[in-house]
Amino acid sequence: MDVVDDPANVRLPHVQVVHTQHGMPANAATAASRPYDESQQLERAMREELRRETGKDIQIAMRKSAPRTKAYVEKQKENKGEEEAKLQAMQKALDEAEAKLRVQEKATAVVEGTKEEKVSEENSPVGVVNCIGIVGVGLVGGAYFLLRNEKEETVKSLEEEKSLVMQAVEAEKKSSQSLQAALAKERDLAEKLREESAAALQASQRSIQAEKLNTEAIKREKEATARALSAEKVLAEALAKERDANRKALEAEKVARYAAEAEAKENNLEIESIVQTLEQERDLIRKVGTKAMEEKVAAEEQKMAAAEAHVKAAKSEMEAKELSAAVEEANETNKDLEKQLSTAEAQANLVVKVGERTIQVQEAMAEMRRRAGEQALETARIAREAQEQREKADQELAAATQVLEAERSLIARLNAEVEDGHKKIEQQRAIAEKLATELEDAKAKAKAEQVAAEKSIADANKRLAEMQSALSNEKSKSEGLQSDIAQMKAHMESLKEQLHRASDDLEVEQDRTRQVMEDLQKSVLEERRAAQSAKLLAQKAQEEVSNLRRELATVTAEVGELQRVKQFQDEELDRERKGRASAEEAQEKAEVALAKMMKAATEATKRASAVAERATMVEKDVKKYLDAMETKSGEDKDAIPEPMKPNAPSRS
């Protein structure tokens, strides 16, 4: 069965069928573009895997940190409410202590007034009253001394309690300071996390921008490949026109050769006919002339004999009869001579007709040569136009090749930038994870310090309650204790304000962090969608580039087929030239003209061969570039860690 009739080859393109007929692989035109497609698929898989892993890590970190941040905010709100309640209770206790101190001050004032009355009564003239006053003063003085001793003991105990409370307040102050430091550290870590998130977002945006630039470069490469394909098509058309011109030149040469051979044969036949006719005429004239002379001599002799016979007529009748017979014979001889002369005239007319026929044949051959010359000029014009079109196609192909090389170098540079962007994203992600861990540690430390502060506040509240119970049993209060209580109250107020500010700052910072996380998540989702769309565009553009490359390979194969056909025609022309070695001398001028035309066609063929060689060199360069890309993709595949290696694309 023939290869073309095989049902498996029914839908093959023309070039693949030609490849199959010549024993070549049917997919020889598309095998060169497979390594580049596989490298592009591998690179896309790597980018998708890296992007998926990066987005997954960011989402996991955000999912992990968001509940903890929310719980921490809720806990801070609850602690803030509890601290406010405790501070309100402490404020209430301090108010009660101040009221009791005011009562004690009033009692002290009463005692002082009683002492003054005692002094005034001692100067009174009334003795009884003095005695009573002395007794009363003694009682009051004893009571005063008892109260003073009790007051001193109470003041001493209150001083001790105050020192304890001051120590608790100092501890609370230190705890508040440590809490503020922890909050400041947490704020710094949140700021760093926000900065790293912004840096990661910028790196992701740069990566997306690089992807977009890569997609645009692939589009430009597709356009350059399309222009190269158009140039190859123009080159194929020029070669086809040149092939038609060569075919027409071959036909013109065949027609001229056949005309020259026919003219030579006709001339040979006519020359042979003329020579033969001339020989016949020469023989005839020679024969007729010889016979005429003989007959003329015989006639003269007969006339002389007749005259003599006429003279001797009288001799006898027998002689007269012989004389009349001789005269008749002479007349017949003259008639034969006239007949032969008429035959010679007919032969001369035949020679004239043959000459006229020869002239007509020569005119026809001249007309045929003129037509062959015009056809040769037309063929030369077509060959010249084909040469100009081919030179123009060569220039367009060279320009398209330069643009294609520039776009490929740009794609390589953009791929390097994309890889750098991915590395920077990985570094930013590691830094963000580290900062998140530090933030969690700081939150845990702040929580522990907050628990310690709550415990110290509870102890202070307990001691304050004890102090309030002691103050409830007092009847007097010193001004120093009141000032200390006022200072404690002021310190509690300042501590309360600091806690309020710290809680407000923490809430604002947490809201800001949550907003930054939400913005970052939205930005990451938007960038991911943009990257996905850019990826789809890049895949479509890459598929179009692959299709254009396959078409380019097909057109290149057609150009090669046209070149082989042209080479076959050149060989046939060479054989035709060699077959005209034995042409006549009259055909040499036509052969010189045809040789010039064939020389021009040969030069056009050489130029076509040079263009084909340049196209072959460009194809080799493209193949080398694809092999280099395949080698590079293989090295990148070996450099990929084992968990990130995607499945290798199957070879169709």
pLDDT of 583 reads 46
CA distance 492 to 409: 71
Helix H segments across 4-33? 14-21
Confidence band for 308, pLDDT divided at 50, 70 and 90: low
CA distance 310 to 507: 179
Look at 591 and 515; give whichever has higher pLDDT. Answer: 515
Least confident range from 73-82, 446-455, 591-600: namely 591-600
Between the alpha carbon of residue 548 and those of residues 228, 234, 393, 404, the distances in Å are 9, 15, 18, 13
- Structural tokens at position 71: 């719980």
Burial 196-220 (b: 16+ CB within 10 A, else e): bbebbbebbebbbbbbbbbbbbbbb
CA distance 193 to 428: 10
Neighbours of 541 (CB within 10 A): 20
Can you spell out the DSSP letters for 472-490? HH-S---HHHHHHHHHHHH
CA distance 103 to 352: 175
Residue 652 pLDDT greater than 50, yes or no: no
Can you spell out the DSSP letters for 59-84? HHHHHHHHHHHHHHHHHHHHHHHHHH
- Structural tokens at position 504: 């407000």
Asked if residues 419 and 250 have their Cβ atoms less than 8 Å apart, the reply is: no
DSSP type of residue 641: -
Least confident range from 29-38, 155-164, 234-243, 455-464: namely 29-38
Q: Closest Cα partner for 524 from 248, 200, 259?
A: 200
Place of tokens 């009174």: 124
Can you spell out the DSSP letters for 156-198? HHHHHHHHHHHHHHHHHHHHHHHHHHHHHHHHHHHHHHHHHHH
Confidence band for 97, pLDDT divided at 50, 70 and 90: low
CA distance 403 to 219: 12
Residue 561 pLDDT greater than 60, yes or no: yes
Asked if residues 49 and 591 have their Cβ atoms less than 8 Å apart, the reply is: no
Residue 24 pLDDT greater than 70, yes or no: no
Q: pLDDT tens digit string along 284-305?
A: 655 655 555 566 556 556 655 5
| Arithmetic mean of pLDDT, 444-452 | 69
Residue 355 pLDDT greater than 60, yes or no: no
Q: How confident is the prediction for the chain on average, in pLDDT?
A: 61
- Structural tokens at position 554: 């097909």
Confidence band for 31, pLDDT divided at 50, 70 and 90: very low
Neighbours of 366 (CB within 10 A): 11
Name the residue type at position 210.
A
Asked if residues 307 and 279 have their Cβ atoms less than 8 Å apart, the reply is: no
Name the residue type at position 71.
A
Give me the numbers of helices (H) and strands (E) for the chain, helices first please.
6, 0
pLDDT of 18 reads 43
Confidence band for 582, pLDDT divided at 50, 70 and 90: very low
Residue 132 pLDDT greater than 50, yes or no: yes
Burial 474-490 (b: 16+ CB within 10 A, else e): bbbbbeebbebbeebbe
Region of 650 on the Ramachandran plot (φ > 0 left; ψ -120 to 50 alpha; else beta): beta
For residue 134, with 0-12 CB atoms within 10 Å meaning exposed, 13-18 middle and 19 or more buried, which class applies?
Answer: middle
Place of tokens 């209060």: 477
CA distance 610 to 604: 10
pLDDT of 410 reads 72
pLDDT of 159 reads 67
Confidence band for 405, pLDDT divided at 50, 70 and 90: confident
| Arithmetic mean of pLDDT, 173-190 | 68
- Structural tokens at position 141: 């003085």
Helix, strand, coil tally for the chain in percent (to 5): 95, 0, 5
- What percentage of the chain exceeds 90 in pLDDT? 0
CA distance 650 to 652: 6
